[in-house]
Amino acid sequence: MDVETAIRTRRTHKAFTGEPLSRSELEQLLELADWAPNHNLTVPWRFRVLGPAALERLKDAAGPEGAAKLDRCPTLVAVSSVLGGDPVQDEEDLHATAVAAYIVLLAAHARGLAGYWRTPGLLRADVGRAALGLPSEERSVGLLHLGHPRQQRPVPERPAAATVTFLD
């Protein structure tokens, strides 16, 4: 699949088979994230693949309603960005981490996998951070849900959006 097709056809999937991604599949996807552009090559992103015990801790922290959303998908990856204390560098690193996360989603889609990115408040709360072992010098960027799709999602028509301004 070429890059333009991947960008135009990637969809948010919330219906997965029960089969988790293999460690090899995850390693391949997460290695591609290392190609995200980042100023001074700081490589600020951190990925935490949730195993059964980590998932149970996060579900306990989430409560019944939040836990149900965590059960939608067989493979969950928490994404965070390392903060160094320089506000400008931290902002650049946060954006680079978001790009790295999107690379994982695009690469998964290109391989016929499904995924979506959530930013639950739980990951900003002390109880959620503790469940994932996020140190104070890391900022949560989101939770990637990855797996094998149970259905295909059609590509919707996109109306032209007024998002570009050409300046003199």
Within a domain: 57: yes
Within a domain: 18: yes
- pLDDT 10s digits, 142-158: 999 999 998 777 777 77
Within a domain: 162: no
Within a domain: 157: no
pLDDT at 15 over 90: no
Q: Write out the residue range of the structural domain in which residue 53 sits.
A: 3-147
By percentage, how much of the chain surpasses pLDDT 90? 71
Q: Rounded to an integer, what distance in angstroms lies between the CA atom of residue 74 and that of residue 52?
A: 10
Within a domain: 161: no
Q: How many domains does the chain have?
A: 1
